[in-house]
Amino acid sequence: MAVDTYTYTNKIQSILDKQSSLFQLSTTQLYKKILDNNEGELTELGAINAKTGKYTGRSPKDKFIVNEPSYRDDIDWGNINQPIDEETFLNLYEKVLNYLNERDELYVFNGYAGSDEDSQLKLTVVNELAWHNLFAQNMFIRPDSKEEAEEIKSDFTIVSAPHFKADPTQDGTNSETFIITSFKHKLILIGGTEYAGEMKKGIFSVMNYLLPKDDIMSMHCSANVGEKGDVALFFGLSGTGKTTLSADANRKLIGDDEHGWNENGIFNIEGGCYAKAINLSYKKEPQIYDAIKYGTILENVVVDEDGDIDFDDNYYTENTRAAYPINHIENIVTPSKAAHPNTIIFLTADAFGVLPPISKLNKDQAMYHFLSGFTAKLAGTERGVTEPEPSFSTCFGSPFLPLHAKVYADLLGNLIDKHDVDVYLVNTGWTGGKYGTGRRISLNYTRQMVEQAITGQLRDSEYIKDDMFGLNIPVEIKDVPQTLLNPINAWSKPEAYREQAQDLIDRFKHNFEKFGDEVSDLAENGGFK
């Protein structure tokens, strides 16, 4: 089918040129629209709380990439990157545009993804809902003025119509919900879900396609920098402590979730933070708690009729969130970029209780654990999960990686070599037994270990090699009990530890088989024996 891209570009532009399209509204203007439209509620902290309906998280089974010849061979097609043909996509896009053309108001934001100007992506975000537009303003990088925004000629556009529902029998989708990316048409089309995080992660997936094409590493990690300019990266899946450990009062935050690494150093892809809010308290996470104020969007938090928040209540979901501009955090780097990292931390919450609280990795081990992306799901977190289950997410971010995993692994490996980066595996999970028997490793101890790793104090420490995983464990760390460092010492029955450790090793090996012979050297040199 011959496709006239110009026709579709003109059509969306004609819709945006209508007087009812509201461009680059201020936070105050959007607050008024949100409250007037009953899209959210004002809370005691000054934040807006919005409900996202039945979709309280991402919908990975409804995510597609348009199968177009210009990049077809680059994509790692499968359950994560599902193909949809171009004609089907454009027919659905036409329906969405007709739907939006009938709305009384649309909200439009122009901004950027990427704080490094050489690789920055210019964005236009078109929203049906005012609170989604405020979310976009919080999460992406904001122009300094409306005049600057007007000059932006977007490289990529998000069109979000959450109240439009697809018909799977006609539209080629799996359900009423769809998140479709076309690299040819430079568009992300979203419908059928009010979960705002689809916009954020959609652009992250786009950057994970574009940046490696220019030999720039894209990473699902947080980053901070110390007073001496020492930069640390924190990779980890949900629940491992990525946001908590990078929000350090003694270090400046670069960003909490998405970064690039080019010849100049590290740069944040976003302009905001999307922190988990369940069980949030000032005592445990003061920086995040203080960031929740006027301008912040809360998602699915329980709020009473007086606007009082109960962060401990999971009535709507465990996945309650707070989206705020990064400048709501006082201790930040401006602009959000820094030099090359000195230290990389891989975070895992091992619910089996067998991995060391901290271990130093050589390059092959680092690549093995990067490709593995291990953590554990806990009993009760998902329907049917009654025992801890291993969860492997390639490169600590497989849902957002359009390219083959080896592309990202090779980039990271080359950068570790070039800049002589120390890499540590940190277990923020259990010790002395698996979940339900053992105990969670103290956050205070984890902070001590991480602090000494990223400040270089562990670089020349004495290490021993554990005989199950082949990992290098520090013999001693200041202010951390020595019995905690080698996990077998924390178990009352060493044989029970070895049995559980071998079970996890077997699971790692089975997972790594999916990468095939192409990375067999990593399995041999960096994996578990």
Q: Verify whether residue 328 is a known catalytic residue.
A: no
Question: b or e along 249-280 (b: 16 or more beta carbons within 10 Å of the residue's beta carbon)?
Answer: eebbbbbbbbbbbbeebbbbbbbbbbbbbeeb
165 in a labelled binding site: no
238 annotated among ligand-binding-site residues: yes
- Confirm or deny that 381 is annotated as ligand binding: no
281 is catalytic: no
Annotated catalytic residue: which of 33, 63, 132, 201? Answer: 201
Q: Is 242 annotated as a binding residue?
A: yes
> Which residue in the list 132, 185, 242, 251 is annotated as catalytic?
242
Helix (H) or strand (E) run with residue 276 in it: strand 272-276
- Write down the catalytic residue from 88, 238, 317, 461: 238
Distance (Å) of CA 332 to CA 142, 256, 336, 343: 16, 11, 8, 19
| 92 annotated ligand binder | no
Work out the number of other CB atoms within 10 angstroms of the CB of residue 83. 14
Report whether 50 contacts 132 (CB < 8 A).
no
Is 315 known as a binding-site position?
no
Q: Which residue out of 52, 119, 222, 243 is catalytically annotated?
A: 243
Largest CA distance in the chain: 72
**Is residue 236 a known part of a binding site?**
yes
Asked whether residue 440 is marked as a ligand-binding residue, the answer is: yes
- Tell how far CA 230 is from the center of its chain: 23
For residue 26, what are the contacts with CB-CB under 8 A and spacing of at least 6? none
Q: Is 256 annotated as a binding residue?
A: no
> Is 257 among the residues known to form the active site?
yes
Cα distances (angstroms) measured from residue 109 to each of 11, 22, 97, 298, 410: 18, 9, 17, 19, 36
- The answer to whether residue 185 is catalytic is no
257 is in an annotated binding site: yes
Question: Is 439 known to be catalytic?
Answer: no
Query: Residue 515: CA atoms inside 13 Å, Cβ hemisphere, count?
Result: 27
Is 404 part of the annotated catalytic residue set? Answer: no
When computed from its CA atoms, the radius of gyration of the chain, rounded to whole angstroms, is 23
**Annotated catalytic residue, options 220, 337, 406, 434:** 220
Catalytic site residue from 116, 248, 256, 257: 257
User: Which listed residue (33, 43, 52, 58) is catalytic?
Assistant: 58
- Annotated binding residue at 510? no
Active site residue 124: no
Residue 305 φ/ψ region, left for φ over 0, alpha for ψ in the -120 to 50 degree band, beta for the rest: alpha
441 is in an annotated binding site: yes
Select which of 200, 252, 321, 377 is catalytic.
Answer: 321
Residue 201 annotated as lining a ligand binding site: yes
Q: DSSP state, 387? A: S
470 is in an annotated binding site: no
3-class secondary structure, 413: helix
160 is catalytic: no
Is 220 known as a binding-site position? Answer: yes
Residue 162 CA to residue 279 CA, distance in Å, equals 28
Residue 348, strand partner residues: 427
Summarize the annotated binding site for ATP as residue ranges.
201, 220, 236-244, 285, 321, 440-441, 446
Summarize the annotated binding site for Mn(2+) as residue ranges.
201, 220, 257
Summarize the annotated binding site as residue ranges.
58, 195, 201, 220, 236-244, 257, 285, 321, 440-441, 446
Q: Which residues are catalytic?
A: 58, 201, 220, 238, 242-243, 257, 321
